[in-house]
Chain A
Amino acid sequence: QSVLTQPPSVSGSPGQSVTISCTGTDVGRYNRVSWYQQPPGTAPKLIIFEVSNRPSGVPDRFSGSKSGNTASLTISGLQSEDEADYYCGSYTTDTRFFGGGTKLTVL
């Protein structure tokens, strides 16, 4: 069973940068990590796929990277509307799975 571990919460002030980590034993082996943003009361939205690629329409303030078995989502120029839950995800041939989620608070 693949597991992705995220910190429960992070916070930052407007204009600052924050980084959310996602650690898993297979993260370093493949470029399969994606990131999802879920503001309160809304459905999740894909913001990063294949570690570092942004779908069309996602601001370039959102960036993804990977080092060893840890993937990271960095949000620069923090804005109040970035306050949300963030989930990393990955997959195998037969399964999909998510990290436990990180709540981002904009102070």
Chain B
Amino acid sequence: EVQLVESGGGLVQPGRSLRVSCTGSGFILGDYAMGWVRQAKGKGLEWVGFIRHKGYGGTAEYAAAVKDRFTISRDDSKSIVYLQMNSLKIEDTAEYYCSRWGSTSFEAWGQGTQVTVSS
């Protein structure tokens, strides 16, 4: 069974950093592009970014709202994808979901981890 488990969320002050992780099981994480999607309370889904698998260079793309502040990386040997969030803003407060990209859609999702940016 494919499983994605996010961890590392929490309360952080504006301007600080936080790293959340996504651990995959039940599949070979290294064979897939992986993405992050966030959802503020009561709002819709917002794409954050994704990282290609190594066969496609392992490069990452980001939404304009987080570009130059967020970085996605992967450790395929540990089946983990990371989202490093720097210079956090109050508007980054959201549930952050990890998802497996199946070439045309987000085909598997984690349960999410809450990130709250507040002073």
A contacts, CB < 8 Å to B: 32, 34, 36, 38, 43-46, 49-50, 55, 85, 87, 89, 91, 94-101
Decide: A89 and B44 in contact? CB cutoff 8 A: no
Chain B residues within an 8 Å CB radius of A96: 35, 37, 47, 50, 101, 106
| CA–CA, A96 and B60, complex, Å | 12
* Stretch from B7-15, B78-86, B109-117 that touches the partner: B109-117
Chain A residues within an 8 Å CB radius of B104: 32, 34, 49-50, 91
Give min CB distance, B40 to chain A, whole Å: 12
Interface residues on B, range: 20 to 34
Partner of B107, one of A38, A55, A101: A55
B contacts, CB < 8 Å to A: 35, 37, 44-47, 50, 61, 63, 97, 101-102, 104-112
**Could you list 19 further interchain pairs (A-B, Cβ under 8 angstroms) beyond the known A96-B50, A98-B37?**
A32-B104, A38-B45, A43-B97, A43-B110, A43-B111, A44-B97, A44-B106, A44-B109, A46-B109, A50-B105, A89-B106, A91-B104, A95-B47, A95-B63, A96-B37, A96-B101, A96-B106, A98-B44, A98-B47
Q: Which 9 pairs across A and B sit closest by C-beta, in order of nearness?
A: A34-B105, A49-B105, A101-B44, A96-B47, A98-B45, A43-B109, A94-B61, A100-B44, A46-B107
